[in-house]
Structure 1
Amino acid sequence: MSLTADLHTHTEYSDGTDSIAEWFAAARAAGLTTIALTDHDTDGGWDEARALVPAGMRVIPGTEFSTKHPGPDGELVSVHLLGYLFDRDDPAVVAEWTRMRDERAGRGGRIVELLVDGGYPISLERVQEIAGPSSIGRPHIARALMEAGAVGSVGEAFDDLLHDGSPYYAALRSTSLIEGLELITGAGGVPVIAHPRARAAAAVLTPEVFASLVPHGLRGIEVDHPDHDDDARAELRGIAADLDLLTTGSSDYHGANKTLRIGQERTPDAVVEQIIALGRTEPFGG
C-alpha cells in the first residue's frame, strides 16, 4: 500500500506558520507527493499554491470548516469538517466565508480587548501583524501572548486564557455540522469529518450520529490522526466499514504552532484517487 499523501495541513493563511513555499519544502522533505491545503474557513492560499506547486507534486485544494453539533445534553460542540475539491465560487460557500471572515475579525478584536483590559501586554496591531494574510484567530493571539512573555507556549495560552470558559473568550457562531455537509456537497466537494476522537467531539460523534450524517453527504472519516490512539482508530475503521465511508490519515500540520510533523500520518494513494474521482474540481499540479 502506497502512502504518499497528507490530507490535512495548515499554513499562514489560517493558524499555521509556514508560507506556501515553506509548506511545499516541508512536504517534499517528508517524501510526500500529494498534500491537501486545508486552512480554516478560507481558500486564501489556493492561488499561491497553484502558482508554486513543484513538479512531481499534487495539491488537493480544501478547507477545514468550523461547525457545531448538539451533544447528548443539547449543548453545541465544535466539530471540524474537511471539504475537498469543491467549487469555491459556489454562492453558498462565498456567503458562508464572508460571514465567517467578518465574525472572526470582530471576535478576535474583542478577545484582544478583553485581555488588554485584564492587564496582558499585547495589542491588536501586533496580533494583526502575526496573523498576516489570515483572519485573526486564537492561535495568533496565543503567539502574541507568548511573545509578550505572558505564557510559555501556545498550548499554555489556550489552557489558561483562551479556552471556551475563559473570561477572555468571545464566542463565534459556527454553522451546524449538517449545514456544513450540505454546503460542501452542494458545491460538489467531498466532506470528511476531521479528528472525530479528539477533544469534545469524541462524545458527540457516536456511531449513531455518524450514520445520521451519511444521508447529508458525509463521505469519509479521518481515522489516522495524531490525537487518535489505537483503540480510537480501530473503532473508527469499524464505523467507516459499516457505513461504507472512506478512511483518511493526516498530520494536521501547523508549522511551528504545534509539534506535529508533516506527513506523520498519511492517506493511502488509492483513497486519494477515490476522493479526486468524487470531487467537482481538479487537484493542482501532478
Structure 2
Amino acid sequence: MNTMIDANVSGIVFNVQKFSVHDGQGIRTLVFLKGCPLRCKWCSNPESQRLQPEMAFNATRCLTAEVCGRCARACPTGAITVQDGMLRIDRSLCKSCFSCAAACPSGAQNLYGETMTVDKVLNRVEEDGVFYSRSGGGLTLSGGEALTQHDFALAMLREARRRHINTAIETCGYYPYEYLQEAARNLNMLIMDIKCMDGDKHKEFTGVDNALILENFRRVCDEFPDLKILARTPVIPGFNDTEDDIRAIRKFIPRRDNISYELLAYHRMGQPKYEYLGRRYAMEGAALADGLMERLRDIAR
C-alpha cells in the first residue's frame, strides 16, 4: 500500500503511554486503540471495550456543583443535573456530544477516545526515538483489541516499519486469521493471550469461545517460525487459577526457541474506571490465594 495512504488512515485512540518497559523489548510507547470483541470480567481497561468515544466522570476531581456546575449547564439533553447539591448523570439521555467535557475545567468530565491519523500517532511515538535506539524499544499496539480497528492498526504497523520503528502488538487473537497474518509480517514481536483451554469457561468469563483464538495461535506459530512470540496468561480467581489450568496451557504452547510464556497476576487497578463509566465491576472482592503465583510460575517454567 502507498505510504501516504497508510499515513492518512485514521482510527480511535484512547491513550498514548510513554516509557513502558513491560510490553515488549526495551523502552516502548504503548498506543491503546478503542474496541474489543471480548468482555472479560476482570478487564482493567473497560474504557477500551466500546469502539466509540465515551464519557467518564471522576467525582474525586469534580469542583462540585456549588462551585462550578458548568457541565450541567452545557449539557443540551439534560443528562447532567444537580440534585441535593450533587451532580447526577443519566447516561440513557447522553447523546455523546461531549459538551460537558469541553466545559469542565478540572478534568472530572473526561473523554475516552480521540480520532487520530497514523501519521499523528507515529509522530508522537518518534518523539522518543533516542530511547528506542539505546534500549531496543519501539511501538507496541494495545487496547482493547488493536485489530478490532484492523485497517488502522495494520496501516500503523506498515508505516512504523517504513520509519524503522521496532513494532509489537498485544492481542487477544479473536478475529479472522488474515488480520493476524498481515500484522505478523510487520512485527518484531507478537504478544498474545492464551487465557484458558476450557471453551465453556472461556465463554463464561470473556463472552466468547476460545476455538478461534487457539487456531490463530497455532497458525501464526507455524507460519512465522522466526517471529518472537510471547504467550501470556492473566491468572484470574475462579477462572484459570488452578495447576491443571496452567498445565493445559503450557502443554498447548509449542516449545520453540522463538516462543516464550509468562503468567500475569490478577489485579484490580482498573476497578475505579468502572465507576467513572457508570458500570459495575464483576470481580468485586476476588483475590488470588497467597503463594499461588509462585507455584503456578514453577509449572509455567
Whether TM-score is above 0.5 comes out as no
Greater relative contact order (CA < 8 Å, ≥ 6 in sequence): 1
| Higher Rg | 2
> Between Structure 1 and Structure 2, which shows a larger proportion of strand residues?
2
Larger helix percent: 1
Q: TM-score, normalised by structure 1?
A: 0.35
